Chain A
């Protein structure tokens, strides 16, 4: 009797500890969201989102940072989504699951996913700027500096590499949910493999490609380390083009909190910017979760 009570007590205690851990993590998340939201709430206005910073970044809005972030993720997606989708197509449609090359590619993709983002920054600097950019300059501009320096294009491409595994994994998952029978039906009608992929498999996995894109955009919008020295700028009075440095939300937060002359005065803007970035990534991730949930549900049917 006593023994079983003791046993029972131990069980309850252990379950309690595990539950406590789970709840503690959830609490941390909720506290983070709440604090940032409350801190930034007062800042959130149409004006804040659409105007330039003023008075040494202590007043005004964050429009250029939003604009820069948008451009960054758009160019990044243009590069990463087709690239990632094609790789996923190779892995699911062409490569044999057990083949050496497929295994190697999968390993490479997972490696890309765990390489620290700062390394991508170094690569962007060493490859895009110093190697590609400098060569382009010496070939087209006789050596004067145009592309051999940090800019929006190089930063976006660097970010594209970083988000590549995100796209590949999502699209692969979606492609795998396309029933094998549909491929068989198409092939049995005399369609070639590529026709089958283009006309049957890809249309069926549009939502997966969208999930991948959204997740990649969310990741790209929030990462700062890869663009620290490949294009992000502290302050710009004009909106950037491809060859210019640019402002971006995440870097803006970093700069305001650690590098600006008057941290205290810009505190509301810091909270406001963080709140905007968090809400942006939050909304993106939520929609990705919902989309993915739908795909999985479809698979189970």
Chain B
């Protein structure tokens, strides 16, 4: 027993001694495989995020490319491909084509307007120009599959040319014997709804941010700020649901307009979604204004509100501008609220109480029912590319121009 222990100890000791007597050679750089690989992999993965932005643009744009192909006729293989996808998607189309009926029942039966009325009969009425036209879902229940297919099979250079030409018009009638892809109504609708939601959200959020960063005591701040930030975590489909079920009815009873779902309701709902973005960025910008500005102003005898409006606010304007820009970006691309609360009628109408259809909602509503590779499909992707470019530019402006300016003002560089 003791012998065993002794030998064990001896062995251990020799291990320790070996460890202690080991001379370290520093003159030769050792190649460490693990570190080398780790660094390369980490670097590669990080670079991927740049690649993803590119890929998103490339692949969204790529699917819209055929629309620009106005010289060559559609090839055989493309048609075959379409046939395949058509078959698989038949089921989806059928599923969702129950839409028409249900849609009407969402709105109060009393306030059923021309929007709903035209809805079911789109294919027939497409010729009548100033009508409110709903598209997409109109791949109507019974004959949609075969109809759409004939249209798509014939899509060649001529179709693309007419499609391209039709984009500058007002009519969005993608599914008919004579499809037209007028984007103007969609663009106008998107701008209108963005305008309304900003009119609602921007002042509210900016004033609230001023309250939190200038007037509020610590306790109020600790309640208000996290609560508003919590709103950022609300799924947009929940806000859309709230708008559709509660807000629409409420606002209608207050303002007594005709169409229950319209750009006003949608705008307010999207405004709710944009509030946390505008609030947070504005609050950050206000807090970033150095305390010395604030103290200097107070020392000169200015009151708190004077300081807030004449010193802090001007210093933070670029930040507030960025907040509004990113708010616009959010509303512009918002899909679910637009789908649920705006009425989805593509019409040229400046009336805030008329139904609208936004660009994003158009993609959301129609993509699931479209024939892959069809002109309609390409146009939807083209709309996607436009949205991408728009938000990219907005973000770039917010990032570089505004931040640069903000730094200049605050640090006087």
Contacts and interface: CB of A to CB of B under 8 A. Distances in A.
Q: Do A and B bind each other?
A: yes
Contact of A254 (B43, B242, B340, B381): B340
Given A25-B205, A28-B272, A118 B212 contact: no
Nearest to B229: A289
Given A114-B395, A259-B99, A21 B46 contact: no
12 contacts: A11-B306, A18-B215, A22-B224, A86-B42, A104-B50, A114-B391, A121-B363, A194-B32, A254-B240, A258-B103, A260-B98, A277-B235
A35 B246 contact: yes
Q: How large is the interface on A (under 10, 10 to 19, 20 to 34, 35 or more residues)?
A: 35 or more
Interface in A255-296: 257-264, 270-271, 274, 277-278, 281-282, 284-286, 289
Nearest to A14: B305
Contacts, number: 292
Given A228-B368, A257-B245, A18 B63 contact: no
Given A192-B32, A197-B38, A229-B367, 19 more contacts: A15-B305, A22-B228, A25-B205, A32-B234, A86-B46, A90-B43, A108-B50, A112-B52, A117-B333, A121-B363, A122-B363, A122-B384, A222-B237, A229-B368, A250-B336, A271-B245, A274-B238, A277-B238, A284-B233
B56 A119 contact: yes
B207 A261 contact: no
A91 interface: yes
Contacts of A149: 88
Interface of A: 7-8, 10-11, 14-15, 17-22, 24-26, 28-29, 32, 35-36, 39, 83, 86-87, 89-91, 93-95, 101, 104-105, 107-112, 114-123, 125-127, 130-131, 145, 149, 161, 164, 168, 192-195, 197, 215, 218-219, 221-225, 228-229, 234-235, 250-251, 253-254, 257-264, 270-271, 274, 277-278, 281-282, 284-286, 289
Given A115-B333, A119-B387, A261 B233 contact: no
Interface string B5-46: 000000000000000000000000000101100110111011
B208 interface: yes
A258 B99 contact: yes
Contacts of A126: 59-60, 62-63, 381
Contacts of B46: 86-87, 90-91, 94-95, 105
A278 B205 contact: no
Nearest to A278: B238
Interface in B371-396: 372, 380-381, 384, 387-388, 391-392, 394-396
Interface in B92-106: 95-96, 98-99, 101-103, 105-106
A281 B42 CA distance: 31
A94 B234 CA distance: 35
A7 B302 CA distance: 10
A284 B330 CA distance: 22
A243 to B, nearest CB: 13
B225 to A, nearest CB: 9
A224 B47 contact: no
Interface in B51-76: 52-53, 55-56, 59-60, 62-63
B238 A222 contact: yes
B241 interface: yes
Contacts of B340: 254, 257-258
A116 B399 contact: no
Interface of B: 32, 34-35, 38-39, 41-43, 45-50, 52-53, 55-56, 59-60, 62-63, 84, 88, 95-96, 98-99, 101-103, 105-106, 203-205, 207-208, 210-212, 214-216, 224, 226-231, 233-242, 244-246, 272, 275, 279, 303-306, 308-309, 326, 329-330, 332-336, 339-340, 360, 363-364, 367-368, 372, 380-381, 384, 387-388, 391-392, 394-396, 399
Contact of A222 (B56, B236, B396): B236
B207 A17 contact: yes
Contacts of A28: 272
Nearest to B99: A259
Nearest to B268: A28
A278 B39 CA distance: 41
Contact of B235 (A222, A229, A264): A222
A104 B49 CA distance: 10
B35 A15 contact: no
Given A120-B56, A126-B60, A264-B105, A29 B241 contact: no
A281 B39 contact: no
Nearest to B303: A11
Nearest to B98: A261
B215 to A, nearest CB: 5
A108 B53 contact: yes
A119 B64 CA distance: 13
A21 B47 contact: no
Given A21-B211, A117-B335, A112 B49 contact: yes
A26 B224 contact: yes
A284 B235 CA distance: 12
A284 B388 CA distance: 29
B381 A10 contact: no
Given A116-B387, A253-B238, A21 B105 contact: no
